[in-house]
Amino acid sequence: MRYSLLVLILSFALIKASKADSSMEPGDTTVQNYSNFKRSFQLSGLLQLRYTYSLTDSVNVNGSNYTGDGVNNSFALKRVRLMARANINDHFDASILLNLADFSGNPQNKVLENAFIRYHYNKHLNLQMGQFRPFFGPEDLLPVDIIKSLDYSNQYYLFGNSGWQSFQMGLAAYGDIVSKGTLPLRYYAGIYNGNGRNKAVDNDNGKDMYARLETDMSKKIRLGLNAAYGTSAKAEGSALGADFSMVVPLNSKLQLELLTEYKQGTNFAEYELNGLSTGTNISKYQNRGFYVFPNIRYDYKHPRLRSIEFSCRYEYLDENYKLEKNLRQTLTPMVSLEFTDDYFARLQLGCTVDIYDHDVPLTAQYSHTMAVAQLQVRF
């Protein structure tokens, strides 16, 4: 049963692909040698500089409670990314993404983020192999330099720790199931190791699998459904999710963007840390959470200031709610000044407000408020 959704989606895709012309450019069928056809190379980068100030006594810049001396403000290199992308021809391309900011700490199993090869058969079937982010929700498709808030949600990082999201090594397929009509339907599916990035080999014989269906209910409304299955230390787990996004134009210069997402899944990371030693069944280690993320964009169109954005994401996150329930709620109000189009230069100002049901001293599970200023340049 756990393979049925993945097999069903891929079967639909293969049927569509087999009926469609494999040529990406039907007008170029007379080409005799595709070795250098449409070959190109692009190098790009991202620099994110951040200043963080803790507004809560006895909480440091990492959000952890402390006694004695602690660091309550700091400048930091959040991300220093370099990306190289090469189109080999009209069917093959490759991509590499490095985060050089990881060298400022312990770079083990870090630095290299994306490293994959893609094969584009047609709009119904695209294959991707290597290290990449499995598409298990809308945040997986968004580069960090164009997200509307300060960072990805807490939910994204929590589910990434258990292998459901973030960078993984494996094989994926995606494309259109129905591309015409009033209700287009897309699929994303794959299989991967599930033990994180930059690992020489898998840590067990089990593999994680995911499948996503996505449809545009209109030009401005999108709905997605996710399902995944995985293993850890010979124990099995699963995850489910749903998301909804919409864009509402308010006038010629003002628009409201809304994204909301719900997820529930097995907490493999905590199970490996504590469940194995205590003998607790893996079914007790469960995460769940959702967030609502409205963003108001004003297109100012000044030569030096292109737009102003106001956002405030609300997150509700229950980690291990069956064993040690400690609800975490987070508010992230932000204002973003875009100095060049497409976020090539912008300044973000805001704060994160974390509220726990009960604070745990000397840990990161401690209610606090953090002020943040972040300057970003893309090139």
Q: Does 28 reside within a domain? A: no
152: helix, strand or coil? coil
Q: Does 303 reside within a domain? A: yes
Question: Which residues touch 287 (CB under 8 Å, ≥6 apart)?
Answer: 158, 159, 162, 263, 264, 265, 266, 267, 317, 318, 319, 320, 321
Q: What CA–CA distances, in Å, run from 202 to 161, 169, 273?
A: 15, 9, 18
Q: Does 27 reside within a domain? A: no
Residue-range definition of the domain harbouring residue 325: 4-19+39-378
The tally of domains found in the chain comes to 1
Q: Does 372 reside within a domain? A: yes
Please give the pLDDT value at position 24.
47
Angle at 168 between CA 162 and CA 170, to 5 degrees: 125
Distance CA 149, CA 147 (A): 6
Q: What CA–CA distances, in Å, run from 248 to 93, 259, 354?
A: 35, 12, 29
Q: What is the mean pLDDT of each run of 10 residues along the chain (379 residues)?
A: 57 59 55 90 96 97 94 96 96 96 88 96 96 93 89 95 93 93 92 90 89 93 96 90 96 96 95 88 94 97 96 95 91 97 96 96 96 97
CATH number at residue 10: 2.40.160.10
Q: Does 29 reside within a domain? A: no
Q: Does 25 reside within a domain? A: no
Q: Does 245 reside within a domain? A: yes
